[in-house]
Structure 1
């Protein structure tokens, strides 16, 4: 009985989850710091969407709600320090769930970078993309546990360090052999 209840609950949760069309981080000056597209957009459509949305979002007052209707979709955004974290979802999707995904992403970035700032994302954009890829796959929330994502990121960092050490030692061997 417990298994059937969990199975039914799991299918309900899966049917409620929303499809994210894209994620975008924009600075207060309108510079794009990160984008991830989960729906098909041409390069021209992407540029136009970013230009339109950054104009709309940056011009909104701080007291207005964090949801914007845009071309049959909803854009949910939240400002953290000097960055606007934006998620485009379908019109029928839950805005509060999208806000939770944004907050979850920011918490993971904070945990990794130690109070993340715009410069962290500029100089370590590959890490920000890696963290986002651990969080979302194909526009769906993949992992909700911050601890699990932290372990995966740590394992990735360890692999990179091992690869660097191996490349360095290989370079030393080649340098000694060619003397």
Structure 2
């Protein structure tokens, strides 16, 4: 079961966090700092293939949704569209379990929101 999802840049700054169980804010900060420290300093990757697949799929979905944005602007697009990124993640993971991997199904609610916003 996935306890939380954390997206961090190479400088160790949190860009996205989503928790699937209650963790107090002050404990989140300490937990995120510890995870970031361990990930940035590790010498060998010991994650399971399923987690790699989830991360890969998440990145592909972000790429598909933000396809009209250049690679240099993707980080800013994510930062300024966190609501959209959270919707994507929520479509993929529910209560810590992977529930959807199909990109079209994941993005369907966002495309509906985008159409409504354009109207």
Q: What TM-score, normalized to structure 2?
A: 0.85
1:105 positional shift: 0.7
Among candidates 53, 61, 68, match of residue 108 of structure 1: 61
Unaligned 5+ segments in structure 1 are 1-18, 68-75, 77-94, 163-179
Q: CA RMSD in A?
A: 1.7
Query: Out of 34, 38, 42, which is 2:24 matched to?
Result: 42
Would you tell me which structure has more strand in proportion to its own residues?
Answer: 1
Q: Distance in 2 between matches of 1:156 and 1:143?
A: 19
- 1:127 maps onto 2:84 in alignment: yes
How far the C-alpha of 1:54 sits from its partner, in A, is: 0.9
Q: Output aligned runs, 1:92-103, within 5 Å.
A: 95-103=48-56
The alignment of Structure 1 onto Structure 2 pairs a total of residues equal to 115
Which structure's CA Rg is the greater one? 1
Q: Report deviation, 1:50.
A: 0.5
Q: Which has the higher contact order (CA 8 A, sep 6+)?
A: 2
Moved segments of 4+, more than 6 Å: none
* Counterparts of 1:121 and 1:101, CA distance in 2: 18
